Structure 1
Amino acid sequence: MLRRLSADDKRFKTVRFTSGLNLLVARTTPVSHATDSRNGAGKSSLIELLHFLLGGGADAKQVAAHPALRRTAFTLCLDWPGITEPLSVSRSGADAKQVTVRPGLARQDASPGLFPVSAAPDAQVMPVSEWKALIERHLFGLKGNHQGVSGRSLLAFLMRRIRDNGFNEPVRSVARQPEAKATPNLAYLLGLDFTLAARYQEIAAKKATRDQLKKAVDDPVWGKVIGKTADLRGEIAVRSSRITELQGKISAFRVVPQYEELQDRADELARRIQDLGTRDVIDRRNLDHLEKAVAEAVDPEVRYLEQAYGELGVALPAATLRTFDEVRAFHAAVVRNRRTYLGAEIEAARQSLAKRREERARLDTELSAVLRELSEGGALDRLTALQKLLAQEEAKLGALRHRLEVAQTVEASSREIEAARLDLEREVEADLRERQRQVDQAIVLFNGLVSRLYGDDQSYLYIGPGKYSLKIEPKVSRDASHGIHKMAIFCFDLTMAVIAHREHRGPDFLVHDSHIFDGVDDRQLARALEVAAEIMDAEGMQYLVTINEDDLDKARRRNFTADPYVIEPMLTDSSDDGGLFGFRFER
């Protein structure tokens, strides 16, 4: 459950929540002016802050990102699975990429060390992405791969926002949200197979691609680029025949004997030139090694031994010194012989390089003459022209085949998409039969709520396979007035929240903005609050709703006892410090 919403700005009015029904009231005062509006009291801002602290984005529309508030650190205390003390999470608009939780969750989490712990022993700083992952795992029980379902999308249904037009339709939390994207989240909360619901998104994506391609084909300009399947098949057949004919001519191409001899001679000359180049590389490498060896061949020096022994106080006999001279002379002779040998090798390598250079020049001249003679004879030109034409035709054939694939995709994808859709419908139908208990639970609960508000036994929750999404649709057999539409959302959200909590698929709280009661009849307003209070007590849950004082007075006149459920603070609109933030600022 939610326990407390506070801020490090003393002007902010701390909101303390209780179990069961919570009414946060915005009222006018005796000194209110006609121009005052309870829309500035902060009711919707409260829900924005809850979203912000539970991992919501920090875009320009988020109240915490306002220049007057972005330096303020807001804190939400709530119950957390697995720990006895309330968990607090803090976040500011100035540092919106991370949150601070107390106590640190790494100690209690099933995977110790998964998240970095801050220096404070009782606090933990983590990126918002990791905080959202914790919310998914612990508040919603999401584990492993849950494509199509996210904690943020689930919270958007349990805490609808007026800025997202969340009260326009029961099955959408955001205006113009595709049903195929919304229903996996609804299916998860209701205990249905969300993976089947998510597969509708794949079909929707394929259909969108197919529609775009179809528009291109039907376009007068792009249609000529892509073409029709039948036309392209005809062009491909003609082009393939032409390529076969060219390949036959090239295979059968023969030149007169003298040209064949010249071609053989040209091939031989080219091979010899290549061989000379390879041998040059080897000789140059050897020459480099020989020149380095000459540089390293130096005379030995042994006189240092006499000095070394003298410093040690040892006199060498003359016979010994003579031996040293003989050794040095021997080594000097070895070095001279090595230099002579290396010099001869270097000279031989240089002569070989020079001879091959002359040979290569002669062969290059002869090869040029042979190629010129072949070219002047015309045979080489004709063969080259045929080969070039063949390459061009093959490239055109490849482009035609690619266009055929696109055209076939456009023409055949419609049938494939329809077949996949029908298969998915059958799978969904079979799965719903297997989950009849969950389906019945949702239908009965929704019907019971509507019946208590309107005495209508004909209302129900439709759940079944649709054409492009799993269909989850509240059916209320009443006039489609604005107020009845809002009460249909109220009953639907209450149904989702209760079932999700029962099956450990969601938290134990539901939050509604005061817009849920716009246009609602006095009797239905009072009954809705009574029903919410009873169900919250029975299920051990929490329902937080912001409400205008005049709406609450309507419920009181219908014998609803509101006082036990009104929480502090009482928000007002008549003074600068009467709103949630304790001061006024322009949104």
Structure 2
Amino acid sequence: MQQNNIKNIDEGLNIKPDISKGDIKNIYEEANVFFNAGTTKRLDELEVFYEKLITNRKKRLLEQRNRLESEIHTKSEKSEHLQNEFNKLMQYLGEHQALDVFVNLSSKSAELKSERDSLKKYQDLQSEYKEKERNANKSLLNLSEITEKYLNEMEPNISGLRSYFRSLGKRFYPNSVSGLAIDVNDKDNQVLFDIEAKIESDTSDGINNVKIFCYDLTLLFQGHNHKMNFVFHDSRLFDGIDERQKAEIFRIAYEEFSNKNKQYIATVNQNQLSEIKSQFTDEELQKIITDNTVLTLTDESDTQKLLGIKVDIGEK
């Protein structure tokens, strides 16, 4: 910038008048116009004035030019001195391997700064997560209150479910306590209700299977918001149940499903049928079992199987 200022000053020093007093007089003489003494005097005074003006301007510009050149010289010397000092320091760092240490420290500093930024992002994310967790807990608490209120409002309906389940359970175990427990599930999961079907001393497979039978019928006949019109039980349901209780299952099924727009389907093995025959009169056996047998399957040939063919269900 200072070099540009000097260049502008040099251009200003070279500026001269485009026309002199003599040139003005020659122009007027050629036009046959002659100056009187007063006019000539005024021209002389103007010429002297402008010469002084130009002289003062040149003097001021020269002073500025000298000052700028002095500043440039001083700064050049200072810059050269600083460059020499820098070169000496770099040479010293190189000789003592301090430059490598500096580079390593700079790299470590950048690494630590990056780690700090990552930790800061993690802390921010953790704070955001905790805030969302608090809001979720509030929502869960509010949902638990709504669910509790809903259960209280539905108590008459729930009471009917309990009574039906209990009446079925008493058919099998008259001296055992049975019923349905429906409570709010306020744990961290997606289940709103804890529904437990209970028959006292239900540790054996037999009682547990009876409980399944009673629960399925309760849902079918007393439940709401479903369109199921049948229940299917595999022969495994009858495993572990004594003959009297097996027979009671079929008595209940006959009573509950007769003349109803619902269907009970069960697959029963031949040995299971043989076990319950002694629990029925001939009339009951005919009415409950024989008249309601719609398909008999054997292993005598493939045509006697469910699909009428042999199906190889092997692992690929």
TM-score (norm 1): 0.31
Counterpart mapping for 1:520-531 below 5 A: 520-531=241-252
Equivalent residue number for residue 551 of structure 1: 272
Give the count of matched residue pairs.
201
Residues 434 and 489 (structure 1), Cα distance of their counterparts in 2 relative to 1, 3 Å cut:
same
Query: 1:258: how far off?
Result: 6.1
- Kindly indicate whether residue 253 of structure 2 is the aligned counterpart of residue 532 of structure 1: yes
Query: Which residue does 2:165 correspond to in 1?
Result: 446
Structure 2's unaligned 5+ residue stretches are 6-78, 83-109
Partner residue of 1:473 out of 196, 206, 220: 196
Which residue of 2 is the match for residue 580 of structure 1? 306
Structure-1 residue corresponding to 2:262? 541
Q: In the alignment, what sits opposite 1:320?
A: none
- Equivalent positions of 1:317-332 (< 5 A) are none
Describe the superposition over 1:497-528 as per-residue Cα deviations: whole angstroms up to 9, x where unpaired. 1124xx46213111111111121111111101
Aligned to 1:437: 156
| Kept in 2: contact 1:514–1:546 (CA 8 A) | yes
Match of 1:405 among 121, 124, 142: 124
Is contact 1:463–1:473 with CA below 8 Å preserved after alignment?
A: yes
Q: Deviations over 1:418-439 (max 9, x none)?
A: 4443332221110011112221
Highest relative contact order (Cα 8 Å, sep 6+), 1 or 2? 1
| 8 Å contact kept, 2:182–2:195 | yes
Alignment of 1:345-424 (within 5 A): 399-408=118-127, 416-424=135-143
Counterparts in 2 of 1:409 and 1:485: CA distance versus 1, 3 Å = farther
> What is the match of residue 493 of structure 1?
216
1:83-136 residue CA offsets vs partner (Å, 9 max, x unmatched): xxxxxxxxxxxxxxxxxxxxxxxxxxxxxxxxxxxxxxxxxxxxxxxxxxxxxx
Matched, 1:571 2:297: yes
- Judged with a 3 Å threshold, the aligned counterparts in structure 2 of structure 1 residues 564 and 429 are, in CA distance, closer, same or farther, namely same
In structure 1, stretches of 5+ residues that fail to align are 1-256, 262-375, 379-390
Indicate if the aligned counterparts of 1:513 and 1:545 stay in contact, CA closer than 8 A.
yes
**Separation in 2, partners of 1:258, 1:480:** 102
SS of 2:197 mapped into structure 1: strand
Query: 1:555 & 1:258 partners in 2: Cα distance?
Result: 119
* Counterpart position of 1:200: none
Question: Letter of the aligned partner of 2:307 in structure 1?
Answer: F
Secondary structure, in 3 states, of the residue corresponding to 1:577? helix
Q: Is the 8 A contact 1:456 1:477 kept in 2?
A: no
Over 3 Å counting, the alpha-carbon distance change for 1:408 and 1:582 in structure 2 is same
Is contact 1:442–1:495 with CA below 8 Å preserved after alignment?
A: yes
Of 497, 502, 505, the match for 2:226: 505
Given the superposition, is the C-alpha separation of residues 258 and 473 from structure 1 closer, same or farther in structure 2, using an over 3 Å criterion?
A: farther
Aligned equivalents of 1:525, 1:258: Cα separation in 2: 113
Partner in structure 2 of residue 484 of structure 1: 207
Displacement, 1:555?
2.0
State the TM-score, normalizing by the size of structure 2: 0.55
Deviations 1:545-571 (A, max 9, x none): 11112112222211152112111x310
Which digits, 9 at most, give the CA deviation of each residue in 1:433-483, with x for residues without a partner? 111222112111111111112114621111110124210110111241011
1:181-229 per-residue CA deviation (whole Å, 9 max, x = no partner) reads xxxxxxxxxxxxxxxxxxxxxxxxxxxxxxxxxxxxxxxxxxxxxxxxx
Q: CA deviation at 1:417?
A: 4.8
Confirm or deny: 8 A CA contact 1:450 1:456 kept in the other structure: no
Percent identity between matched residues is: 27
- What is the rounded CA distance, in whole Å, between the counterparts of 2:151 and 2:128 in structure 1? 33
Distance 1:395 1:577, change over 3 A: same
Change (3 A) 1:584 1:460: same
Larger Rg: 2
Match of 1:177 in 2: none
CA contact (8 A) 2:176 2:199 kept: no
Tell me if structure 2 keeps the 8 A contact 1:447–1:457.
Answer: no
Instruction: Give the Cα–Cα distance (whole angstroms) in 1 for the partners of residues 249 and 229 of structure 2.
Output: 19
The aligned residue for residue 61 of structure 2 is none
CA shift for structure 1 position 407: 2.8
Q: CA 1:538 to 1:504, structure 2 compared with 1: closer, same or farther past 3 Å?
A: farther
| 1:493 shift after superposition | 0.9
Aligned residue identity for 2:148: E
For the residue of structure 2 that corresponds to 1:463, the secondary structure is: strand
Q: Which has the higher helix share?
A: 2
Tell me the CA shift for residue 531 of structure 1.
0.6
Cα distance change of structure 1 residues 453 and 416 upon mapping to structure 2, 3 Å threshold: same
Distance 1:414 1:450 in 2: 43
| Equivalent residue number for residue 519 of structure 1 | 240
2:2 and 2:162 map into 1 onto residues whose CA distance is 94
Aligned equivalents of 2:214, 2:298: Cα separation in 1: 29
Residues 539 and 422 (structure 1 numbering): CA distance in 2 closer, same or farther, change over 3 Å?
Answer: farther
Measured in 1, the distance between the counterparts of 2:305 and 2:237 equals 21
Counterpart residue number, 1:172: none
CA contact (8 A) 1:428 1:464 kept: no
Equivalent pair of 1:513/1:546 in contact (CA under 8 Å) = yes
Asked if structure 2 preserves the Cα contact closer than 8 Å seen for 1:512 and 1:544, the reply is yes
Q: CA deviation at 1:530?
A: 0.8
Judged with a 3 Å threshold, the aligned counterparts in structure 2 of structure 1 residues 415 and 515 are, in CA distance, closer, same or farther, namely same
Counting only pairs closer than 5 Å after superposition, residues 126-525 of structure 1 correspond to structure 2 as 399-408=118-127, 416-456=135-175, 458-466=177-185, 467=187, 468=189, 469=191, 470-500=193-223, 503=224, 505-525=226-246
**C-alpha distance in 1 between matches for 2:183 and 2:172:** 25
Q: Call closer, same or farther: CA 1:415–1:453 in 2, change over 3 Å.
A: same
Instruction: Tell me how far apart the structure 2 counterparts of residues 526 and 425 of structure 1 sit (CA, whole Å).
Output: 43
